Chains A and B, each alone.
Chain A
Amino acid sequence: MDFTLSSEQAMLRDGARRFLESAGDKGWARYAELGWLAAAVPEDAGGLGADVADMALLAEEMGRALAPPSFADGAVLAVRLVDRIAGATRRALLSGVMEGARRLAPALYEPRRRYALSPETRADRSGGGYALSGAKVLVADGEATDGLLVSAALDGGIGLFLVDPAGPGVERRAYDAVDGSRFADFAFHGAPLDPAGLLGAASPEILEDALDEARLCVCADMLGGLERAMEMTADYLKTRTQFGQPLAGFQALQHALADMFVEADAVRSSVFRALSAFGGDDRSRRRAVSSCWVETFGAAKQLAGMAVHLHGAIGFTEEYRVGQYLRRAMVAERRFGDVEHHLDRYRTLAG
């Protein structure tokens, strides 16, 4: 066993950190130039075929830097879904993603159905194509997307459809999430799709498996953020003076930070463990990802909240960055299942 980053991995991390800390445009187009949108795309489709450990490294840096959180949706989950499910259009779609020309947004979850992946959204055959009815919620980048990846019931199974978010019969409602990122909900009123709109057949298992890599990236993103929040807190305590001395001199505060380290270190171990499971069988991988989700988000708000607490009132302001990690945790923990959901999944998968 070896936890040392390879020189390529170290370069990836350092390069990502430099770029994300620098001033200037950090939009999706720049991600494409850097090759980050090609990372998850398999080599046979012209991508870099990066493994999940590289993806997690990138995600960790994005979390530290509070970069737009939709990378896991647009560059990981969308790629996995297309890669697994799309037939004829696979290559074209993936090159579109890599070049930044297409921005695909997975739309899997539905109103009042928690994290169920068996869709109630329906595709009915109609005039050689399909008519789509139903609704999807919490679509990251739902405003910027030019192609929704919608799961819908079809002929007793599940189909994955590529849907134009501005097309006829599609109603979009965009909104801010707690962390300031943009989401959208969609309603489909018999939206007409041509036959090529069906990318391929899916199943809850296929969707779950495609989600696992994105889930791990969300956990790694959170880990990066939590570690950064701890560093900021330690730095702040060293500079803030009260009672005639830097706050960092008070043992109660040192120990509070040490306790945060203990928790964050467990999250880091859990992320490594889940990464290792990607080399193994499906059941172990699913279980390890859920284990990691529970470990990460079982701790995240408390950790990020303590970072706010230890800053005093300045930490409570919107302007001061440390509080953003708490807000990010509140969104991230509900993205692809939450602690209760993953605890159940973990138990269901027990031997």
Chain B
Amino acid sequence: MKKTVFLGALTVAGLAAGAAAAGTLDDVKARGKLNCGVTTGLVGFAAPDANGEWHGFDVAVCRAVAAAVLGDPTAVEFVPTTGKTRFTALGSGEVDMLARNTTWTLSRDVDLKFTFVGINYYDGQGFMVPKALGVSSAKELNGATVCIQTGTTTELNLADFFRKNNISYEPVPIETNAEGQQQYLAGACDTYTTDISGLAATRATFENPADHVVLPEVVSKEPLGPLVRHGDDEWADVTRWTLNALIAAEEMGITSANVKEMASAPGSNPEINRILGTEGNLGEMLGLSADWAVNAISAGGNYGEIFARNIGENTPIGLARGLNAQWTDGGLLYSPPFR
């Protein structure tokens, strides 16, 4: 232990992780609390309300994991991270998992040594401009000043997009979404670019959202999902299957309203029984209690409920399910079988 204390002092936070990498599940159980890295504030995805309580689409994943592991969806310590600090926070062991609209890329998976446990939002990068600018396509943005969050895939996609189309731009690097919003609204940049879901969420907080449009071009694939440190497969399994449980629950019609009742006795659908722990021992295999999925689903409902409540069409953010519909509805959500 002394070793790691010393190391932490000598090297950058983030390198001492070696010793702490294994056994995250046990650490979380012993601590009685899950440390979950989220954004510094993106309404709909992760933002604290007036009482300091965190809400959002990504927050719901943290809460589901906490519920599955500890039986308590409130046993979460939310750690706000910027695009730049998030990986150091995860790598150093400051957080047990990241749920921070983070794009799954090869280099993050392989070179930065993280494990993406799934995808909770299929997204793409877009551009938002004020309507008054009179721009209808991103290709007309030659010479424009563009606000981007540093340390994101956004930054690299942007460079690629402008290079591919042989047009120039002036990047204005910013640290957090709040800063980006300030600069964009003050007209210090012509356009703000990030994941389209993020643009929708940002625009929803504007005074006059209707004055701004998201341009039609989607310049990249941004599969967003939770991630954990590389090399702790047990913990990766727990988070992966908690997310799968939320997705499978929607597919099988398990909701926060009926989950208690369905779990009280084995029903006629064996897969539902296996998920809810009334049949088989999937929970035990994961090192969790038999009712882990019941707890996870009770925390905030199934995937569909979480989506609808935080970012769905009836919220100010108003995102359609699109690619994020169940595979049975023509979307891409497809949980592997629970058996």
Q: Do A and B bind each other?
A: no
Contact residues of A with B, CB < 8 Å? none
Contact residues of B with A, CB < 8 Å? none
